[in-house]
Chains A and B, each alone.
Chain A
């Protein structure tokens, strides 16, 4: 299968790989997917007092498209408010990375990861 240049770029040079302290109150963690399905994404966001996402980190077990999708969204969420981040659509991710139909689920997973991370942060700050 041929990968788009953008997928290859994110795969070769993944952005914002890493982990944050998931117990910290200003960190939201979203872990989605399952090993049995062949992909697991962990997306973490660090949110400042104004509700802006200051930093994001990810680690992903999955195919190149899954790695690229999660790497891409760490770039996209930075500087966004929580509401703005939650509005990122999987179709935008798929379009940006030129994902083929069989890989659309990777972009869905990345969208879910953002939502899960935001939800986790909000639960903590209640």
Chain B
């Protein structure tokens, strides 16, 4: 049995075989398996060298100093370390934080924790495409604001924020600026020599590296301080203790190196694939892009197929792996909070599917995907009383529904 076509690259990517090869070399008895913190023998020195090479590879890709890269277990830990770490360190300056309603849960839940500790958090609204306007950041800043955390690219809709402009605002006010770049690294250029970003979170597994590894960029000039969340042997200049996972780190380094070499070409390919998908869907009636087709990362296309419920559509799309903004797919009964924040009503949020293409997606796969999506949508609309009503010209908002 052949496996479904993978179109969930925004959730995770497979490890690039070139990356896996480098990782395997750091595992076995005849490989580079030493503890990078061992100072008394060659096993340790060799492992340390591999870790530092990887650190340089990540730093080169981001145009920053390798000493500004702190290894973590992933973007969730990086977000936690950045937000709680900075808020705790600078608590004497103030206890107000600014973020947005469409951040990843790692950011939102870290902010919630700080609220429990007595901090105040302002959650900014995005516009209907998913952009947090720099003006709204300016307006939300108070005397006691110590941290602003805004994502570079939203994971559900792919919209890109103007972090350069937000960085100008926060730097002028000497407020720490954290950016979750899990969805942007390797997709669009990031130049930390130019961007006035102080803390930036990265993930390995979103860009063809392994899961379980990430990094936090911590700026040295001007120097940004954070309080460690993980205590132990004082690894990573005291910011994150724990034995470094050489094979994971080497994998992430190689993944970032490859991204540096291939991003430009890959972006063009992914943009074309996304356009192909959208062209294939557009001729269906009542199909809408969530987010912004232009101001977004090349690989992500979030679409609402009106009058079709997302989970039933997923059942029809059985030869592909995609994700839905409908609540039915998750444990909660609320549909996607991101789509709600963009102003979609519950019904349109329930009808949304995120397609994310990547390095190994082919045109042939998308031909099949388009056919199956069109077929599924048409079939379910035949089954949909809402589609009937739409065709009869009934305004669904005028109907008295019996909520349950």
Contacts from A to B (Cβ < 8 Å): 1, 3, 8, 11, 14, 17, 19, 31-42, 59-64, 66-67, 102, 105, 108-109, 112
How far is the CB of A64 from the nearest CB of chain B, in Å? 5
Inter-chain contact A61/B404, CB cutoff 8 Å: no
Q: What is the distance, in angstroms, from B380's C-beta to the closest C-beta of chain A?
A: 8
Query: Do the beta carbons of B384 and A60 come within 8 Å of each other?
Result: yes
Contact of B401 with A62 in the complex, beta carbons under 8 Å: no
Contacting pair A67 B312 (CB below 8 A): yes
Is there an interface contact between A17 and B403, defined as CB atoms closer than 8 Å? no
B401 touches A38 (CB 8 A): no
Bound Cα distance A37, B307 (Å): 13
Q: Which residues of B152-167 are within 8 A (CB) of A?
A: none
CB-based contact B347/A108 at 8 Å: no
- B402 and A11 contacting across the interface, CB-CB below 8 Å: no
Binds A, one of B50-58, B93-101, B282-290, B323-331: B323-331
Q: CB within 8 A of A61: which of B309, B315, B328?
A: B309
CB of B205, distance to nearest CB on chain A (Å) = 23
Do residues A11 and B312 form an inter-chain contact, with CB atoms below 8 A?
yes
Given known pairs A3-B315, A19-B388, A59-B384, the reply for A35 and B401 (CB within 8 Å) is yes
Nearest chain B CB to A114's CB is how many angstroms away? Answer: 14
B79 contacts chain A at the CB level, 8 A cutoff: no
B394 to chain A, nearest CB (A): 12
Q: How far is the CA of A8 from the CA of B315 in the complex (A)?
A: 9
Assembled-state Cα–Cα distance A105/B385 (Å): 19
Contacts of B311 in A (CB 8 A): 38, 63-64
The SS class assigned to the B binding surface is helix
Contact A33 B404 (CB under 8 A): yes
Which residues, 240 to 290 on B, are CB-close (under 8 Å) to A? none
Q: Are A108 and B404 in contact (CB under 8 A)?
A: yes
Residues of A within 8 A of B329 (CB): 1
> In the complex the two chains form, what is the Cα distance from A62 to B311 in whole Å?
8
CB-CB under 8 A from A60, the residues of chain B are: 383-385
With A34-B401, A63-B309 already in contact, the answer to whether A40 and B388 are too (CB < 8 A) is no
Kindly provide the distance from the CB of A27 to the nearest chain B CB, expressed in whole angstroms.
15
CA distance A34 to B327 in the complex (A): 14
Interface of A is mostly: mixed
Partner of B401, one of A17, A33, A63: A33
Q: Which residues of A sit under 8 angstroms from B34, Cβ to Cβ?
A: none
Q: Is the CB of B331 within 8 A of A102?
A: yes
A-B contact pairs, 21 of them (CB 8 A): A31-B385, A32-B402, A33-B402, A34-B401, A34-B403, A34-B404, A35-B346, A35-B401, A36-B401, A37-B346, A38-B310, A38-B327, A38-B335, A59-B383, A60-B385, A61-B308, A61-B309, A63-B309, A63-B328, A66-B312, A112-B402
With A35-B346, A35-B347, A64-B312 as given contacts, are A59 and B404 in contact (CB-CB < 8 Å)? no
Known: A59-B388, A61-B386. A38 touches B328 (CB 8 A): yes
Cα-based distance from A37 to B308 in the complex (angstroms) = 13
Cα A31 to Cα B396 with chains together (Å): 13
Measured CA separation A35–B403 after assembly (Å): 9
Cβ–Cβ < 8 Å partners of B387 in chain A? 61
Is the CB–CB distance between B385 and A42 below 8 Å? yes
Min CB gap A79→B, angstroms: 24
- Return chain A residues, CB-CB under 8 Å to B345: 35-36
Q: Is the CB of B127 closer than 8 A to any CB of chain A? A: no
Convert B374-389 into 0s and 1s, putting 1 for each residue whose CB lies closer than 8 angstroms to a CB of A.
0000000011111110
